[in-house]
Structure 1
Amino acid sequence: MQKSISYIFHPVLMPLVGVLFYFSKSPRYIPLPIIKDKLIAISILTILLPILGILLLKTLGRISSIELKQTKDRVLPLFIYCGIILIVLKRVLTAYEFIELYYFFVGMLASTLSCLMLVLLKYKASIHMIAISGVFMFFIGLSIHFSINILGSIALVIFLMGLIATSRLSLKAHSTAELIIGCAVGIIPQLILIPHWL
């Protein structure tokens, strides 16, 4: 059960969750074909590509486990993911089209770079908590930005944060400190960037 939670709420799914939520709550008129194109592009770049990349790295023997249990296993995947986010920012979600989503992904890039720096310092922050915490802060930003009541959605994300943290502790994948650091690494960049699009 605990392992299932880690897979169901995997970090690679969180960018798509943020994008889906944005399109479902935005009061702006956005043509359906554009929404579909963006969702397909985000799905391919942030879900399919990282999964294929991890499997390739495992096949080539560059990582010891697809779960990236060891700190050294995280360096290449995080570096590659930074490149993927840059592609998204350059080609898929530009600032003049969707400024909210643009800064959401800038925040994710900052979180990923922070996580990479921690890995290089031999510290393993929880990527699961980084991802869900970033989404949590983005939801709060959208609530303020669009002046909408999404307390139910925010409460659900808080519940999921607790569920994921419990799961990671039960699996002994992280210590409490690593989970807290993960939350901070996910929340702080989004919090700093919110004034740029509010």
Structure 2
Amino acid sequence: MNVILKSISYIFHPIVMPLLGVIYYFHKTRLFIPQELMYAKLFSVFILTFLLPILMYFLLKTIKKVETIHLSSTKERIIPLLVNAIIIAMIAIKVFPYDEVLELYYFFIGILCSTVACLILALLKVKASIHMLAVCGFFMFAVAVGIHFQININGTIALMMLVIGAVATSRLHLKAHTNSELIIGAFLGLFPQLLLLNYWL
């Protein structure tokens, strides 16, 4: 059981969720998007949200700014969150500009707001679950996509409920977070995506 719960924290790690959000959107969208453009966007997001953060982690670990990939203390979260905010802002401006793919532009603006809020809390020495932030942000976006394109996403909702529960259980089991930190993380993930629905839904 310990191995399974630990694996969940890695499978649904925050660096994976933005890419999953883009894949989910491209899979569900009813708008015509050229396949070449779709692959180019996916490749860009993969490089910027997955490979680059991993390389940054190893750099920070080498210079002893972080200890583990889970960023256990608020102090070691500051630099990674700052760098991630810059990366997400770059994606929103360059990869998914406002006049190109509106839904994904606001998805990443929501992620940016969540990341900045998490960074501010870290500076105030308040710890929030970035895992919960990521999965709950994806969940809210997935629900919005379903409503936007008027498609049945009951399966996605059921699966995401299980995933959110599994992630929360995993983080508690590993003693990475308290209940309040999980709730704060979930709120930081859900609220920006919910607030931004007014601009694109």
Give the superposition deviation at 1:74.
0.1
Alignment of 1:100-115 (within 5 A): 100-115=103-118
Q: How does 1:60-71 map to 2 (within 5 A)?
A: 60-71=63-74
Structure-2 residue corresponding to 1:79: 82
Q: Give the Å deviation of 1:111.
A: 0.2
The residue aligned with 1:172 is 175
Q: Distance in 2 between matches of 1:153 and 1:64?
A: 35
Task: Determine the C-alpha separation between the residues in 2 that align with 1:93 and 1:154.
Answer: 25
Determine if the alignment matches structure 1 residue 39 to structure 2 residue 42. Answer: yes
Cα drift, residue 3 of structure 1: 1.3
Aligned to 1:138: 141
Q: Given residue 140 of structure 2, which amino acid in structure 1 is its aligned partner?
A: M
Q: 1:94 aligns with which of 94, 97, 100?
A: 97
Give SS of 2:196's match. helix
> How far apart, in 1, do the equivalents of 2:38 and 2:193 lie?
23
What displacement does 1:140 show?
1.1
CA distance in 2, matches of 1:142, 1:108: 16
Aligned length: 198
User: Quick one: which amino acid aligns to residue 47 of structure 2?
Assistant: I
SS of aligned partner of 2:15: helix
1:169-188: per-residue Cα shift (whole Å, max 9, x none)?
A: 00000001100110000000
Show structure 2 runs of 5+ residues with no match: none
1:181 maps onto 2:189 in alignment = no
Secondary structure of 1:12 counterpart: coil
CA distance in 1: counterparts of 2:94 and 2:106, whole angstroms:
14
Offset, 1:64: 2.8
Q: Which amino acid aligns with 2:92?
A: L
Which residue identity does 1:177 align to in structure 2?
Answer: S
Cα pair 1:19 1:39 within 8 Å, conserved = yes
Give the Cα separation in 2 of the matches to 1:58 and 1:163.
28
1:10 aligns with 2:18: no
Q: 1:43 deviation in Å?
A: 0.2
Q: Structure 1 unaligned runs (5+)?
A: none
SS of the equivalent of 1:189 reads: helix
* Residue matched to 1:153: 156
Partner Cα separation in structure 2 for residue 170 and residue 59 of structure 1: 28
Q: CA deviation at 1:87?
A: 1.0
CA RMSD after TM alignment: 0.7
Deviations 1:98-148 (A, max 9, x none): 000000000000000000011111111000000000001001111111111
Q: CA deviation at 1:158?
A: 1.2
Q: Secondary structure at the match of 2:71?
A: coil
Equivalent residue of 1:52, what SS?
Answer: helix
* TM-score, normalised via structure 1 length: 0.98
